[in-house]
Structure 1
């Protein structure tokens, strides 16, 4: 059985358990997802399931994407993602819903694109300490300081930490506890935060280390 879905982050809220303790959760609109393709070792060299999510107008997709979906009489879907499964146990054209894939108490990994922060300095990006706040310095408080030695090697090594573009990268948050599953509204609530802004598309998979 496929243990994964594509969803959309709704936002964070809190729910209360039986003892009255507040639990911070992220609400995700998980599915419904269509099985658009099943990868098999014989024909593709590996085993996986491709899921589709988010119905759109046909003119929003390229002709190749529409043809790929029409093979199984599926509607136009904006997002296609692959989930590696050794034994998928599903057929192309099936519909997966959140209440058939996940259950309360399970642990999941959520993958998404983090919020973009633009160009940031070393203090915010890598928590550099910055310069001294006294002893006569006036404009070096958030400067990164020396980047390398002088004549040898006389350059900055590749991969060195410093100012640059921050955020907007693929991030996976592991071992989030499933607190709520609502099949009627396609809602999944997990304890903790997930990457990305509200409305971001995320992949929910069974926890690898759980």
Structure 2
């Protein structure tokens, strides 16, 4: 099995053997249940669907209740498909044991939504350099867009103010520092996208 679904717990730091303080993120990974097995003959491709985190019965539709009943499991809040798996069957459980200390993983999550933001926060603009010579309240302004009588429009892709965050983000090559199988926890180096309690996907 190449991956698992998890939930971001928060950030902390640990010391390595050389005494360096390493920032890291704690992730609650699994246990995940195999809720569906897709095959080339029936679905056109092969993959497995994992379910994670308990959901209330009242919040699940009737078709999904039947879907989970086939796997002989309770309703789940998060479903993700993985294409690389080794002999897993419907109803099997995937735990954090698939990772070992020293492994490198890619983490996919949804970044924090910032709403409508200006160019300084959204694109890192520096703003206007000074406030002298009549410059007033221009520190965070975007400046000229370069459009005059030609082309008389704004080019697509122009870096301007707009909605920021809330995007799917992948962070690659994060090292697994600790694995706590009893608590279903994995500690990876560095930061990952998303707020505390948001769902993430870990993949080798």
Same fold (TM over 0.5): yes
Match of 2:122? Answer: 125
Whether 2:176 is the aligned partner of 1:185: answer no
Q: What TM-score, normalized by structure 2, do the two folds share?
A: 0.95
Alpha-carbon separation, structure 1, partners of 2:56 and 2:124 = 45
In structure 2, distance between residues paired with 1:84 and 1:200: 23
Long gaps (5+) in structure 2: none
After the TM superposition, which segments of 4 or more aligned residues of structure 1 sit over 4 Å from their partners?
none
Answer whether contact 2:34 2:71 (CA < 8 A) is retained. no
Question: 1:9 — aligned with what?
Answer: 8
Q: CA RMSD in A?
A: 1.2
Could you give the per-residue CA deviations for residues 84-116 of structure 1, whole angstroms, max 9, x where no partner exists? 22x5421010001101x1111110000001011
Matched, 1:106 2:76: no
Give yes or no for contact 2:109–2:200 (8 Å, CA) kept in 1. yes
Q: TM (normalized to structure 1)?
A: 0.93
1:1-210 superposed matches below 5 A: 2-85=1-84, 87-99=85-97, 101-133=98-130, 134-206=132-204
- Paired positions, count: 203
Q: Distance in 2 between matches of 1:72 and 1:160?
A: 49
Unpaired runs of 5+ residues, structure 1, are none
